[in-house]
Amino acid sequence: MSEQDLGHFQASHFEEHLFVSGHTACAGCGQSLAARIVADVAGKDTMIANSTGCLEVFSTKAPESAWRTPWIHSLFENSSALASGVEAALRYLGKIDNIRVIAQGGDGGTADIGMQALSGMLERGHDILYVCYDNEAYMNTGIQRSGLTPLTASTTTSPLGSKWHGNWRNKKPLIEICAAHFIPYVASASVGYIQDLQRKVKKALSIRGPKYIQIHVPCPLGWGHPSNATIDVAKAAVLCGLYPLVEYEFGKVSSVFKVPTPKPVLEYVKLQSRFKHLLKDEATLKALQEAANKNLEYYGLNRKEA
């Protein structure tokens, strides 16, 4: 490729996406894929507040940035509060109708340390979309357990062993907690179903008021799966019922992604080393299967349409 052709290629690539290559995410990172989808759907007239975490670290190593929209780094716990200030300023300046505001963070910065700020943002009614990139642990600081780590998964703070069978707490029902604020829109999504994710982001940004989307983003490093298996792993979580894809509007379920013939949880866990102990521990595997069954029943995911 000539130098001139290379220049044209680079220019067209940067025009095509609003979150571009050159960052330092791990190969197969589900979070980087989801971030690109969110940014592209949102468009250039968007301002993003981003919590500390993997996404912040690998996308904005000074003096470089992978973002082609206005982007602000906040503390670990307060992207919701920072975005609230941005939204209030835009409203004061009369620009809120032309610019969308997104706050985003990982599962730790959302479900744990950032939950207070998130709840406040929802309660006050800010016109902001909050995006949680749920890779189910504090990956940036050493794969520690978070409130969204699934039951039985092994992390560095909930290790597997002869007397310890991974995380013993259920995944925090953050989707339902956000929906309980009776905000206009709450949804879960997955990088395994890109068109569904695109649709939900577009729908959320078309609605005024606070919105929340939680995106399941497999992490090859923390989950222990091959980097080329990210999409397959993401789909398997949905198809066994462990990660329901749902939508809420003003506190009520408005849509669910049906799984008429759910796959056994075993087909999901055998793809990842964080669950390898379950292959020899039927009792613990049964507990995780029961968690999936509760999701299937609660949302009616395996009920066929009448």
Whole-number Cα distances in Å, 236 to 146, 163, 191, 293? 21, 28, 11, 14
Q: What is the pLDDT of residue 2?
A: 54
16 falls in which pLDDT band (50, 70, 90)?
confident
Asked if 68 contacts 19 with a C-beta cutoff of 8 angstroms, the reply is yes
Whether residue 124 has pLDDT greater than 60: yes
What's the confidence (pLDDT) of residue 15? Answer: 64
pLDDT of residue 3: 55
Phi, psi dihedrals of residue 270, rounded to the nearest 5°? -70, -10
Percent of the chain at pLDDT exceeding 70? 94
205 contacts 42 by C-beta, under 8 angstroms? yes
From the list 115, 102, 180, 178, the residue with the least C-alpha distance to 146 is: 115
What's at 75, amino acid-wise?
A: L
**Per-residue pLDDT reduced to its tens digit, 37-91:** 999 999 999 999 999 999 999 999 888 999 999 999 989 999 999 999 999 999 9
Burial grade of 283 (CB within 10 A; 0-12, 13-18, 19 or more): exposed
Residue 160 pLDDT? 85
Task: Identify the pLDDT of residue 6.
Answer: 43
For residue 172, is pLDDT > 80?
Answer: yes
The helix (H) or strand (E) run that includes residue 80 is helix 79-93
How confident is the model over 21-36, as pLDDT tens digits?
889 999 999 999 999 9
Helix (H) or strand (E) holding 130: strand 129-134
* Among candidate residues 140, 111, 123, the one with its CA nearest the CA of residue 53: 140
Q: What is the rounded distance in angstroms from the CA atom of residue 244 to the CA atom of residue 294?
A: 11
In angstroms, rounded to a whole number, what is the distance separating the alpha carbons of residues 153 and 143? 11
| Conformational region of residue 48, where left means phi above 0, alpha means psi within -120 to 50, and beta covers everything else | beta
Give residue-wise pLDDT tens across range 190-210.
999 999 999 999 999 999 999
Q: How far apart are CA 115 and CA 174, in angstroms?
A: 9
pLDDT at 165: 86
Compute CA 150 distance to the chain's CA centroid, rounded to the nearest angstrom: 14
Find the range with the poorest average confidence among 63-67, 244-248, 253-257, 291-295.
63-67
Query: C-alpha 140: how far from its chain's center?
Result: 15
Taking residues 129-157, report their average pLDDT.
96
| 127 confidence band (pLDDT: 50, 70, 90) | very high
Q: CA angle at residue 133 from 245 to 304, to 5 degrees?
A: 5
pLDDT higher than 60, residue 223: yes
Report the pLDDT averaged over residues 113-132.
97
> What string of DSSP letters covers 190-246?
ETTSHHHHHHHHHHHHTS-S-EEEEEE---HHHHT--GGGHHHHHHHHHHTTSS--E
Domains of the chain: 3-299 (3.40.50.970)
* Whether the Cβ atoms of residue 305 and residue 257 lie closer than 8 Å to each other: no
Q: Rounded to whole angstroms, how far apart are CA atoms 242 and 252?
A: 20
Rounded to 10 deg, the angle between the 230-239 and 30-42 helix axes is 80
Look at residue 305 and tell me whether its pLDDT is greater than 80.
Answer: no
CB-CB contact of 212 with 130 (8 Å): yes
Mean pLDDT of 273-302: 95
pLDDT of residue 62: 84
Mean of the pLDDT values across residues 157-186? 93
Euclidean distance between CA atoms 28 and 11, whole angstroms: 24
Task: Report the chain's mean pLDDT, rounded to a whole number.
Answer: 93
pLDDT of residue 8: 44
pTM of the model: 0.93
Give the span between the Cα atoms of 210 and 275, in whole angstroms. Answer: 36
What confidence tens digit (pLDDT) does each residue in 136-147 have? 999 999 999 999
**Is 60 exceeded by the pLDDT of residue 306?**
no
